[in-house]
Amino acid sequence: MTLESSVGEIKGVGEVLAKKFGQLGIKSVADLIDYYPRRYDDYSAISPTNSLHPGVVTIEAEIKQASGRYVRRGMHITEAIASDAVGSIRLIWFNQPYRVGSLKAGQKYFITGKYELSHQRFAIMNPAIELANEFPVNTARIVPIYRETKGLTSRQIRQALKQAMSLIESLVETLPTEVVNQYKLVDRSSALKTIHFPESDADLQAARYRLGFEEVFQLSLASLLNKQANLQQLAPPIMFNEKLAKTFVSELPFKLTNAQRAAIWQIYLDLQKPQPMNRLIEGDVGSGKTVVATMAALMALEQGWQVAFMAPTELLARQHADTIHKLLRPLGLETKVDLLVGSLSPAQKTKARAAVASGQAQFIVGTQALIQDKVDMHKLALIIVDEQHRFGVDQRKTLMSKAGHMPHVLSLTATPIPRSLALTVYGELDISIINIKPGGRLPIITKLVSPNSTKAVYQFVESELQAGRQIFVVCPLIKESDVIQANSAEKVYETLRTGVFKHWRIGLLHGKMKPSDKNQIMTDFVNHKLDILVSTTVIEVGVDVPNASVMLVEGPERFGLAQIHQLRGRVGRSHDQGYCYLMLSDSKQPSRRLKALESSSDGFKLAELDLEIRGPGAIYGTSQSGDLDLRIAKLSDTHLIAAARQAASQLIERQVNLLQYKQLMTNVTRLQSVTNLN
Ligand code: ADP
Ligand code: MG
């Protein structure tokens, strides 16, 4: 058996069980070893049989006698007596007829199970039992609990791991020796043995530290290498034209905030360098990122370069094109802006492509498809990506092959990324934070609503509708589900349409609809042909409907805080007050997490809280975190993060030949290519 062997080759794991392992993502023995426990139960304390308390107990005792019988059809009972120096105790198993045969009278065992009353007498029920002279995995130790699946228990997982013990004990080190020594890390083999079979809490902590360190170290190395590769590329320097910038600013209908100014200045410094910019602008919804991006584009346009602005949806692309058009009009540069999206007619597309090729169109706005399109963008120098956390190395390479050089990349996001996460997962990006909201905007009033108070909320919504305002209703699901108890968009839509709001125009929007239908519904809502929009989180990104004043979130328990924070940013975009009602699924006391939304309007604080309570996945929503999720390290563990990051940058600074660390580099290369979070 080797690490590459299928789990089916492990003694005791047959074809059926191997399938079950497969359901947990465990195909090979290596996968099994890499399957970390969710938590542990400590059964290491051994009690004498004469002083047991109800609950889970562990004893070390000899089996005196054992017998099995059917008490009625389909109900089998195995009973045994176990004795230690001070007394005896009854053991009972249900429906395990094979038990009797496996128990050896006169042998000493470790026995762990629930000590409780059974037919007026105390007994240990369905215990795990292992020979005391062997290495115990289920009893008399700190026992790991794994994520299980139907037909595959933690006991079986432990048993399989025990069979793989010799492989665990001979695992090779993946970290450079100097790193292991300098940071006093446990070696890889001991760490994994301890993770599955800990001898003490202290050992477990050291093992977790080691494995967590490795995760952050690999991520940091991946992002540092990406950054290094990026800096070795050449991009066309784009010079700063002060007069142009001043003219643009003087024509704006508002005054830039200091945070906007700072971000723009950093961008101008980046653009003048011969290396490609790779900057992320982070700012809450409504903080004014579009104008910052437009100012970045300004210099490129003036110097004859092309700019591509990519939005996650067509609708958003159209909205951006409009906004940018208006912003550039006072300078006479609006003629350079062109929209290129999938829904254009073939004739329109041909025309747009021709405009791009001739250089007439310089500022091209569209979806991601833009860069795959058969567009001649040989003068492309700047890419602006809206609501995409990063722009992939591979995508850059595609573009480089078109343009002959690396473009500068500016990413915009409303997702607040906590500092710890920014340093590890986004280490290759330079970050500017826009933490000031343009003046005159009121914080959104947020309230948790228990099911028996919905009527009052509906009355308020009615009054807003009467006043000519529009309403968003966001649901966690599209359709009803048997598995997940939550209000679906389809159900809420039907209920509202035929109930309290039947006299209003209501639309339904979700991700499974045809793009053209989605577009139509969204456009109708933007143009106030609909009063209420019931949707899933597809509306999360960027669409601007200043007339919308209320956001109802159904089943808020199912959303991340940062996600709800982004959602509520959809309302209160004009000078009027915006409201967000979180419609709780039940009357239970809401969590500390959700309560934070009532009191805080600081996206970063909420994201930190989410990170602490639910991990990185919560910040991006499940589908987006994937490979970048840490399994052991906690991003709140600042000490570990700092150490692992330092180790990674030292390695790069010393220009160590990384190719000698084969396994490490396989992992790092995979992480380097995980470029898109969306
Ligand atoms: P986001 O950061 O969410 O993309 P936008 O760029 O869409 O935000 O800006 C939101 C609104 O705020 C727009 O209507 C924009 O014109 C306006 N805005 C941007 N900057 C300022 C500012 N400094 N003062 C006032 N309004 C501003
Ligand atoms: Mg925006």
Q: Are 1-39+147-170 and 45-140 the same fold in CATH? A: no
Question: How far does residue 573's CA lie from ligand 2's centre (Å)?
Answer: 12
C-alpha neighbours within 13 Å on the C-beta side of residue 124? 26
Is residue 72's pLDDT more than 90? no
The protein residue whose alpha carbon is closest to atom 20 in ligand 1 is 288
Chain position carrying tokens 């002083």: 51
80: nearest Cα among 22, 12, 126: 126
Q: What is the pLDDT of residues 233-273, one digit of tens each?
A: 889 999 999 999 999 999 999 999 999 999 999 999 999 99
What torsion do the CA atoms of 236, 229, 647, 4 make, to the nearest 10 degrees? 160
pLDDT higher at 164 or 607 = 164
Q: Using a 6 Å cutoff on CB, does residue 264 contact ligand 1?
A: no
Q: Residue 616's pLDDT band (boundaries 50, 70, 90)?
A: low
The per-residue pLDDT for range 500-557, each reduced to its tens digit, is 999 999 999 988 888 788 888 988 999 999 999 999 887 755 567 889 999 999 999 9
| Domain formed by 1-39+147-170, architecture | Orthogonal Bundle (1.10)
How many residues are there in the chain? 678
Instruction: Find out whether the beta carbon of 257 lies less than 6 Å from any atom of ligand 1.
Output: yes
Partners of 76 in the beta sheet?
70
**Does ligand 1 lie within 6 Å of residue 432's CB atom?**
no
At residue 558, the pLDDT reads 87
| CA–centroid distance, residue 232 to ligand 1 (Å) | 35
Tell whether the model's pLDDT for residue 50 goes beyond 70: yes
Nearest residue by C-alpha to atom 24 in ligand 1: 438
Any atom of ligand 1 within 6 Å of the Cβ of 438? yes
DSSP SS3 for 477: strand
Instruction: Work out which ligand 1 atom sits closest to the CA atom of 546.
Output: 14
Given a cut of 50, whether residue 622 has pLDDT beyond it is no
As a whole number of angstroms, the distance between CA 284 and CA 292 comes to 14
User: How many Cα atoms sit within 13 Å of 108 on the Cβ side?
Assistant: 9
User: What confidence tens digit (pLDDT) does each residue in 114-146 have?
Assistant: 999 988 889 999 999 999 999 999 999 999 999
Using one digit for the tens of pLDDT, what is the confidence trace for 561-607? 888 888 888 887 667 889 999 999 888 888 888 999 999 888 888 88
Would you list the DSSP string of 205-274? Answer: HHHHHHHHHHHHHHHHHHHHHHHHHHHTS--------HHHHHHHHHHSSSPPPHHHHHHHHHHHHHHTSS
Distances in Å between the Cα of 560 and the Cα atoms of 396, 475, 478, 565 are: 30, 13, 18, 9
Average pLDDT over residues 666-671: 85
Is residue 486 helix, strand or coil?
coil
Give 186-223 pLDDT, tens digit per residue: 999 999 999 999 999 999 999 999 999 999 999 889 88
DSSP-assigned states of every residue in 332-364: T-GGGEEEE-TTS-HHHHHHHHHHHHHTS--EE
Quick one: pLDDT band at residue 393, thresholds 50, 70, 90? low
What the block records as the tokens of 247 is 């003219």
Question: Quick one: how far is CA 670 from the chain centroid?
Answer: 18
SS3 assignment for 12-79: CCCHHHHHHHHHCCCCEHHHHHCCCCCEEEECCCCCCHHHCCCEEEEEEEEEEEEEEEEEECCEEEEE
| Shortest-distance Cα residue to atom 15 of ligand 1 | 288
Across the beta sheet with 445-449, the strand order is 445-449, 579-583, 548-554, 470-474, 532-535, 506-509
Return the ligand 1 atom nearest residue 292 CA: 6
Q: Is residue 254 lining ligand 1, measured as CB closer than 6 Å?
A: yes
Residue 480 has pLDDT above 80, yes or no: no
Q: Which amino acid is at 302?
A: E
At residue 316, the pLDDT reads 84
Beta bridge partners of 72: 75
* Residue 280 CA to ligand 2 centre (angstroms): 13
Query: In this predicted structure, what is the pLDDT of residue 460?
Result: 96
For every residue of 496-553, DSSP letters joined together read HHHTTTTTS-EEEE-TTS-HHHHHHHHHHHHTTS-SEEEE-GGGGS----TTEEEEEE
555: which DSSP letter? S
pLDDT at 624 over 50: no
Q: How far apart (Å, rounded) are the C-alpha atoms in residues 593 and 607?
A: 10
pLDDT attached to residue 478: 82
CA atoms within 13 A on the CB side of 454: 14
For the chain, the structural domain boundaries read 1-39+147-170, 45-140, 254-272+288-413, 445-600
**Chain centre distance of CA 258:** 31
Nearest ligand atom owner, CA of 254: 1
Ligand having the closest approach to the CA of 569 = 1
Those residues whose beta carbon sits under 5 angstroms from the ion ligand 2 are 542
**Residue 256 Cβ contacting ligand 1 at under 6 Å:** yes
For residue 385, give the ligand nearest its CA.
2
From ligand 1's centre to the CA of 564, what distance in Å? 20
The protein residue whose alpha carbon is closest to atom 9 in ligand 1 is 288
- Cβ 288 under 6 angstroms from ligand 1: yes
pLDDT of residue 475: 92
Residues 6+ apart with CB under 8 A from 180: 173, 187
Cα(263) to ligand 1 centroid in Å equals 14
What dotted CATH number matches 254-272+288-413?
Answer: 3.40.50.300
Could you say which of 3.20.20.210, 3.30.230.70, 2.40.50.140, 3.10.180.10 is the CATH number of the domain covering 45-140? Answer: 2.40.50.140
Mutational test site, ligand 1, from 261, 284, 287, 435, max ligand atoms within 8 Å of CB: 287
User: Which pLDDT score is estimated for 264?
Assistant: 97
Nearest bound ligand to the CA of residue 290: 1
Q: Is 167 in the pocket of ligand 1 (CB under 6 A)?
A: no
Q: Using CA atoms, how far apart are residues 185 and 328, in angstroms rounded to an integer?
A: 57
In the chain, the largest separation of any two C-alpha atoms, in whole Å, equals 96
Rounded average pLDDT over 604-612: 79
CATH 3.40.50.300 fits 445-600, yes or no: yes
The answer, yes or no, to whether residue 231 has pLDDT greater than 90, is no
Give residue 676's pLDDT.
36
Residue closest by Cα to atom 5 of ligand 1: 288
Q: How far apart are the first and last CA of the chain?
A: 39
pLDDT of residue 269: 97
Cα-to-centroid distance, 437 and ligand 1 (Å): 8
Question: Strand 363-367 vs strand 380-386: parallel, antiparallel, or unpaired?
Answer: unpaired
List, for residues 402-421, the tens digit of each pLDDT value.
Answer: 777 888 999 998 877 777 77
Residue 290 near ligand 1, beta carbon < 6 Å: yes
Helix intervals (H) in 569-621:
592-599, 603-614, 617-620
Instruction: Give the separation between CA 282 and CA 179, rounded to whole angstroms.
Output: 33
How far is the centre of ligand 2, averaged over its atoms, from the C-alpha of 275 (Å)? 26
> Which atom in ligand 1 lies closest to the alpha carbon of residue 289?
2
State if residue 367 touches ligand 1 by the CB under 6 angstroms criterion. no
State the distance from the centre of ligand 2 to the C-alpha of 257, rounded, in angstroms. Answer: 16
Q: Which residues of 353-372 are buried (b: 16+ CB within 10 A; e: fewer)?
A: bebbeeeebbbbbbbbebbe
Residue 426 has pLDDT above 80, yes or no: no
Across residues 16-25, what is the average pLDDT? Answer: 95
Helix or strand run (H / E) with residue 101? helix 99-102
Label residues 578-614 b or e (16+ Cβ within 10 Å = b). Answer: bbbbbbbbeeeebeebbebbeebbbbbbbbbbbbeee
Q: What is the pLDDT of residue 186?
A: 97
Dig out the tokens for 266 from the structure.
Answer: 């950093």
Cα–ligand 1 centroid distance for 109 (angstroms): 71
pLDDT tier at 94, thresholds 50, 70, 90: very high
Q: Residue 678's pLDDT band (boundaries 50, 70, 90)?
A: very low
DSSP character string of 411-442: EEE-S---HHHHHHTTTTSEEEEE--PPTTPP
Tell if the pTM clears 0.95, that is, is over it. Answer: no
Nearest to residue 361, comparing CAs of 333, 401, 381?
333
State yes or no: pLDDT of 390 exceeds 60. no
Q: How wide is the angle at C-alpha 618 spanned by C-alphas 616 and 621, nearest 5°?
A: 110
pLDDT of residue 621: 44
Mean pLDDT over all residues of the chain? 88
Q: DSSP letters along 618-671, please?
A: HHH-HHHHGGG--SS--TT-HHHHHHHHHHHHHHHHTT--GGG-HHHHHHHHHH
